[in-house]
Each structure stands twice: as structure tokens, then as C-alpha cells.
Structure 1
């Protein structure tokens, strides 16, 4: 079921009257993405998911800015960029210039990924790993990794099949052979090149071992930088209904936190944005010196609170406090591991006292 939301923000934040469709991610198509070097839509989600209405994105990350305006669902549904029934004929199914959107799959949801421009690039050496996260644990029939040929400039050129050279691949690999995570599995595909420098695109095709689903990812890299170490914790599943109320001011409140104890957790609060009658906040939860199985965060205010919506947790109001409990996919954290959740509250924003308790 699709929901329609209208974003109306102050000048420079979002186009007035912009209408976007939010399509909740269903378990059938919620698989995964390349988290390192981050694909275009996962990178935009990772950098801006908690502050996607921040006008600073327009100057700091203009390619993500255009993508969020074109269709925010391309980022919220970072794990659903796939086509069905391709039967291995990838070049026949996807025209030149449309490789990063999977041939304008999912009714054009990911079209902005094909936009030519200066996408944020990850610095890599000539040897690096492509990390694929699979939230549905389907594994792979195969994973093919390509890199654009020397001389290709993604800042000015649209990607074509003839621009690519296959540099690495993995054959049939059941999910049981992947690295196990609390909310999925992940696998590294090693890439080793020589003599490369400058900008390039890493293009990954993942044939999931589920029906006939082919996934396509564009990751922008800069050869000659330091080898990038992917995140040690898996990505969190995006909210099915992202926040829709536009902010008018940037964050002003510094994070507040409580120190972690052994086998416990800490939490830090940050005000993302506020407007007349409401505000958006984000809370980061971090495990202590031992792994935890679940967490509960209490935000204590000086007056009664109301929460409109939340993501990556269940947030309920209890008098002058808001109580958040982990989602099924982000409760288990490794020692010193972290996750985050967000919510939209009613009224005037104030800084709460934050406490975190953990299940070990």
C-alpha cells in the first residue's frame, strides 16, 4: 500500500508542494545492498537518512540532494534495487545510461542513481573488498564485480556496459557460508588491480538465490586514497514510513549521553530539527564492553510528551517520559557496537535526561 505525503518547506529546504510516494518495504523484496564502498543510494541513506531535510545537503552533497528530491524512497528502500526474470541477460535488460538504476526498475524509483555528476566517492587502494549485505539471508547464485576502464569519468559521463571490465566474481554461495550478523549476513568480494588512480565506478551484480532476482549497484570510488574499512556493524533496516514534517531550523542542541557500564549500554540524544509545533530527534545507542541482546532507552522531560511517529524502534509516551525499545533487527549489538533510532515529537523541543538499560 502506498502512502502519499506532501513536503512543504521553507525556501531552500524542499520544493513547495513536492509530492512523493512512500512504499513500505515488504519482506519479499527487502534484501540488501553494497555497504562498502557504499552504493549511491545506500551512501545517501547512511549520510542523510536522519537529516534528509537539512538544507546543508544541497551544497555539501548535491548528488544526494537531487536524489532525495527526486524520490526519497530510493534511499528508504535502499535494499530493494532489483529486477526479476532477467535470466542472466543483464545487458539485454538494462540499456546503457541506466545501469545504476537497474534499467529504471521499480517504476523508476531509482532513476536518480543514473544522474551524471560528482557523487561522493570512497577512497580505496588498488586492493579492496566489496562488502555486500543481505538482510534476507538468501545468499547468491553469483556476484560479479566490475570496475570502469581507465579514462572513464563518472562526473561527466553516463555509464555504459562498454565502460566496464569484470574484475572479480564469486559463484554459488549459500547464506550459511556468509558472515552472520544479527539482522542478516554479509560477504566480502576481494578486488585486486594495479596502476589505477583517480575516479571510477565499481558496478556490482548480485544474483540472489531467490526466484530470479538480480540486484545492481553503483559505488563511486577514488583510487589512490587509503584502503577503506567497511563498517563493523550491519546496516539497520530503514523505516517503512519516513518522517514527513519539514523542519525550519538546523540542529541546535548538543548530544547528551550516559556512560556505559560492562554489559550495559549508553545513549546520546541529538535534536535534528524543529519547527512550530514539533521537532525531530535522533538517539544513538551504544553497547558497553560486552555484547547485549536488547536495549531500552528512557528520555525524561520536564513535562508531558507526545510522539507522532518513530523509526528503528518502538517509542511510547509515559507521562513526562518517552520510552524506546529496540526493533527486532537492531537489538543485538556487539561490544562497543551502536545503532540509532529517531522520532518526531509534538510541542517545543527540550533536552531530556537520557538513560539506557540493556538485556545481556
Structure 2
């Protein structure tokens, strides 16, 4: 990275770490109260988190996924907090509250955290047919007063045009739907909404408004799609965490994979790598892989080098007792098919040393 960019990323990371100190106690990372998002076709920030959350420091993102890259650089919290893009007190007057060109950020909501989602360009798009299913995830089980699904009209080009209300056509609306009527899924509830958008071809934006039931709280999501496919499958997993991000720092990642015993056909293995280091700390990345049979959950243990402490973690619940560290799966990444993998990460003080984690599985 260039030095100027590195300094900017480091300053932003330090601000994130300072804010995280408020919610970290005795090695526990306490997540903020979460809400929800559309996960299929995925919204811009959920899609960026899904693809790059475990590798957000990879410089290849700049060329492979430039719209996500600019969003990560503008404010990583827009992706870590993929479930918090809402406004309060709109009273149903959405067009008055959100100007044209700012629909994807909900009118520059949350003090501008989501502004980069309004950027015009070639966002990664999900291929769908003209009849598709919108999969909405509600982590806090709010339920809905209503959900409205809009699709841009034929002729609109999201790669060159900012999104305005006049570009949208309402194609689906459901009314009062309490959370008890949503599907019970890991970490919350979910709702599959059949949508028909005839006459569309090529690139479009699906714009979804979710009016939550618990108070006047409105969520707004832009999903980039490409019409012309055979339909999108129902998601097989539902992400539920709002992890605290690791600092963006310079330095070449170093890797020291350490597989654990598989523990039999239904066991698990684990590899560890030091993703980055800086003065007084480092980021550790851990990959968990199921053995020859599916597992329902996993637990990773390791010994921290002397004098170290874990201050943040994501995609797992990490606790420490002295030098002993234990990570257990989150609600959404414990069940793994045979040979499937997931990952989690942590921030620790000190200088990384030899870390040899072991993994045990629940079957």
C-alpha cells in the first residue's frame, strides 16, 4: 500500500479499536444489537461483507471488486454492520426522507457510515430470473408492518446512473407480518418473498424497504442483479454476526498452518495464520474444517504466548483464562458439511509466537 493510504487506514482502524474498548470486557467481544438485511439477492454491503469479510485487507479487492473496495476504504463499519442500515421516524414518507441519489445509503443515514453504497459503478451483481425469491433475514425478530420490493425500470443502467425514486417500480408488497409467521432460522427469523419483474433484461437494482414492527424504524437495501438467469437458490446459511473489524495495517501476512487431529470421521481440523502485525499487536486468522462427516459445532483451543491478551474477535465467541484461549462457533457457522470450512479471527496484544490450536467437534 502507499504510505498515505496506510496512514489513513491506520487512523480509521485506531478509531474503531477505541470505540470497541467500550464494549470489550475481560476478553469478551460484546456485539451490538443487530437487526437484519436482504441476503438474497444480497444487498451491497452484505454482499461485500460476505465476499471479503474474512479477507478485507487483500489488495486484490481493488481490481477484482472495485466497488466493494471503495466501500471498504470509505468506512469498513458499513460492512461489519451490514444489519444496521435504517432510519427512524420516517412515518412512511420515504421519498421525502431520502433524496434521489441517496437511496442505497438511506439518505446518508448513520452519520454517513453507508454513503459509499450510493457510488455509481459496476457493483457485483447476482444473476436472477424474472421470477425470483427475495430472502429477508431478521436477526432481532422485529417482524414487519410491511415489506416493499421495487425493481428499476427497463432502460436504467446502475453502472452509469445514480438511483432515484423515478427509476423504480413497485413489484411486490406484503403487509403486517409478525415475526412468529417468519421462518425460524439460526440466529433469528427469515422470510422468503416471491417476486415477479417481467420485461427486465440485463443489469438492474432491486430496492427493498422493510418497515419493522417494533417501532418506526425503516430499513433500505440496494441489491444489484442481472436478469437472464434461471433463478437464485434459497440460501443454505444465514449470517448473523456484526463482528468488530480488525485494524487495517501494513505488513506482509505470515502463515504458520497448524492442523489439529481430525478426531475421527466426524472431527475437525484447524489452521492458524498471522494475518498482520503492528507495534504492540497482531491479527490472527483461524480456519476450521470439518472431517470426513458433517458436524454440528466446533470448539478451538490454544495457548497464548506469555503476557498476551485478546481484545477483539469475530465469527466466534472467544474467551480467555490466563494464557488459555477458547473459541466456540457462532450460531451461523457451527454446522459444517464434510470437508467444509469456516473461519474466525481475533486481535491480540503483543508479538505473535508459536500458536498451535486444536479443534474438537460436536456431532
Superposition TM-score, scaled by structure 1 size: 0.83
Q: How does 1:344-359 map to 2 (within 5 A)?
A: 344-345=347-348, 346-348=350-352, 350=354, 352-358=356-362
* More helix per residue: 2
CA distance in 1, matches of 2:306, 2:127: 47
Match of 1:158 in 2: 162
CA distance in 2, matches of 1:163, 1:260: 56
Match of 1:91 in 2: 95
What is the total number of aligned residue pairs between the two structures? 344
CA contact (8 A) 2:300 2:357 kept: no
Match of 1:108 in 2: 112
SS in 1 for 2:116: helix
2:344 to 338, 341, 354: 341
CA distance in 2, matches of 1:257, 1:61: 34
2:192 to 188, 192, 195: 188
- How far residue 331 of structure 1 moved from its aligned partner, in angstroms, is 7.6
- How far residue 35 of structure 1 moved from its aligned partner, in angstroms, is 0.9
Which deviations, in whole Å up to 9, do the C-alpha atoms of 1:226-256 show, x marking residues without a partner? 42224312103122x3222514124645684
1:66 to 40, 64, 70: 70
Which deviations, in whole Å up to 9, do the C-alpha atoms of 1:247-271 show, x marking residues without a partner? 4124645684654757x55243353
Q: Which runs of 5+ in 2 are unaligned?
A: 21-30
Match of 2:133 in 1: 129
CA distance in 2, matches of 1:55, 1:14: 15
- How far residue 221 of structure 1 moved from its aligned partner, in angstroms, is 0.8
CA distance in 2, matches of 1:330, 1:305: 32
Residues 222 and 260 of structure 1: CA distance in aligned 2, closer, same or farther (over 3 Å): farther
**Correspondence 1:117 to 2:110:** no
Q: Which runs of 5+ in 1 are unaligned?
A: 1-7
Residues 170 and 338 of structure 1: CA distance in aligned 2, closer, same or farther (over 3 Å): farther
CA contact (8 A) 1:279 1:349 kept: no
**Correspondence 1:76 to 2:80:** yes
CA distance in 2, matches of 1:158, 1:61: 19
CA distance in 2, matches of 1:200, 1:257: 46
Match of 1:243 in 2: 246
Which deviations, in whole Å up to 9, do the C-alpha atoms of 1:94-140 show, x marking residues without a partner? 11000000011111111111011111111112221111110000111
SS in 2 for 1:33: strand
CA distance in 2, matches of 1:130, 1:295: 31
2:270 to 268, 271, 279: 268
CA distance in 1, matches of 2:10, 2:361: 42
2:175 to 171, 175, 190: 171
CA distance in 1, matches of 2:242, 2:183: 21
Q: How does 1:217-236 map to 2 (within 5 A)?
A: 217-236=221-240
- How far residue 168 of structure 1 moved from its aligned partner, in angstroms, is 1.5
**What is the RMSD computed on CA atoms of the aligned residues?**
3.1
CA distance in 1, matches of 2:203, 2:65: 17
- How far residue 57 of structure 1 moved from its aligned partner, in angstroms, is 1.5
Match of 2:284 in 1: 281
**Correspondence 1:19 to 2:12:** yes
CA contact (8 A) 1:68 1:75 kept: yes
Match of 2:26 in 1: none
CA contact (8 A) 2:70 2:116 kept: yes
Match of 2:327 in 1: 324
Larger relative contact order (C-alpha < 8 A, sep ≥ 6)? 2
**Correspondence 1:197 to 2:197:** no
CA distance in 1, matches of 2:258, 2:49: 21
CA contact (8 A) 2:298 2:359 kept: no
- How far residue 307 of structure 1 moved from its aligned partner, in angstroms, is 4.2
Residues 127 and 261 of structure 1: CA distance in aligned 2, closer, same or farther (over 3 Å): farther
Q: Which of 282-291 and 206-215 deviates more?
A: 282-291
SS in 1 for 2:180: helix
